[in-house]
Amino acid sequence: AQSVTQLDSQVPVFEEAPVELRCNYSSSVSVYLFWYVQYPNQGLQLLLKYLSGSTLVESINGFEAEFNKSQTSFHLRKPSVHISDTAEYFCAVSAGNTPLVFGKGTRLSVIA
Amino acid sequence: DTGVSQNPRHKITKRGQNVTFRCDPISEHNRLYWYRQTLGQGPEFLTYFQNEAQLEKSRLLSDRFSAERPKGSFSTLEIQRTEQGDSAMYLCASSLDFKDYGYTFGSGTRLTVV
């Protein structure tokens, strides 16, 4: 079975500062990794995903995540955050044909 | 493409009553998932369907919970004899076959059991 640990439940950061949201996973088989974002009063939206190939994946709004197999990590980063990035971020893992397993989430609060 | 639709958005019920939620997935998506999310937690998997077949149920899903997906289209999730611990956001998601790992989520149904 797979599991996901999001090490920080809350991350406050000033606007235009960089941010890293940490995610570690556990699995005995190869995995696919995802980050979802949930804005206030909205549903979960896919931010980015790693299936295979390049270990660095990017989203259209400036986030990136790097798959590190040796560290079993998939940390999410952004070099300069905006107020509009305030949301809850969930890391998720799947071992191929299995339903996604989510972490508990990290609440990112961007401070003006 | 109208996205994944869930109804109702909110449901308040008395303990012991039965409730039913509906999910309409994206029309060409053959996989449909139900998750539950409580405050401060990530979504927890409940069950999923490929077309009309229910392929997996979580051990979290007690026998008071039942889900159906007749004809492989919309799905319903029923909770019988609701308990206060059932209060949560119930999320539905759909996806194309296993090659497509991006789920599209609905906005959820918030259940409050009083």
Facing residue for B105 by CB, picked from A4, A43, A104: A43
pLDDT in tens, A13-54: 999 999 999 999 998 888 899 999 999 888 899 999 998 888
B interface test, pick of A41, A44, A67 with most B CB neighbours within 10 Å: A44
Whether residue B102 lies within 8 A of chain A, CB to CB, comes out as yes
Residues of B in contact with A34 (CB under 8 A): 101-102
Residues of A in contact with B45 (CB under 8 A): 99-101
Q: pLDDT category, B52, cuts 50, 70, 90? A: very high
For residue A31, how far is the Cα from the chain centroid?
15
Please say if the pLDDT value at position B63 is more than 70. Answer: yes
Phi, psi of A100 (to 5 degrees): -60, 140
Q: pLDDT category, B64, cuts 50, 70, 90? A: very high
More confident residue, A95 or A96: A95
Name which of B36, B12, B35, B21 is nearest B113 in CA terms.
Answer: B12
Spatial contact of A63 and A78, defined as CB atoms under 8 Å apart:
yes
Q: How many CA atoms lie within 13 A of A21 on its CB side?
A: 33
Cross-strand bridge partners of residue B112: B12
What is the pLDDT at residue B10? 96
Chain B, 15 to 74: residues with Cβ < 8 Å from chain A are 33, 35, 40-45, 48, 56
Phi, psi of B84 (to 5 degrees): -60, -30
Q: Which two tokens stand for residue B6?
A: 């869930």
B interface test, pick of A100, A101, A104, A107 with most B CB neighbours within 10 Å: A100
What is the pLDDT at residue A40? 85
Q: Which two tokens stand for residue B86?
A: 């059932």
- Per-position DSSP letters for A18-77, written without gaps between them: -EEE--EEE-SS--EEEEEEE-TTS-EEEEEEE-SS-SEEE-TTS-EEEEETTTTEEEEE
How far apart CA A25 and CA A91 sit, in angstroms, is 9
Facing residue for A49 by CB, picked from B48, B102, B105: B102
More confident residue, B89 or A60: B89
Amino acid at A38: Q
CB count within 10 Å of CB A55 equals 12
pLDDT in tens, B6-39: 999 999 999 999 999 999 999 989 999 999 999 8
A interface test, pick of B101, B104, B110 with most A CB neighbours within 10 Å: B101
Please say if the pLDDT value at position B99 is more than 70. Answer: no
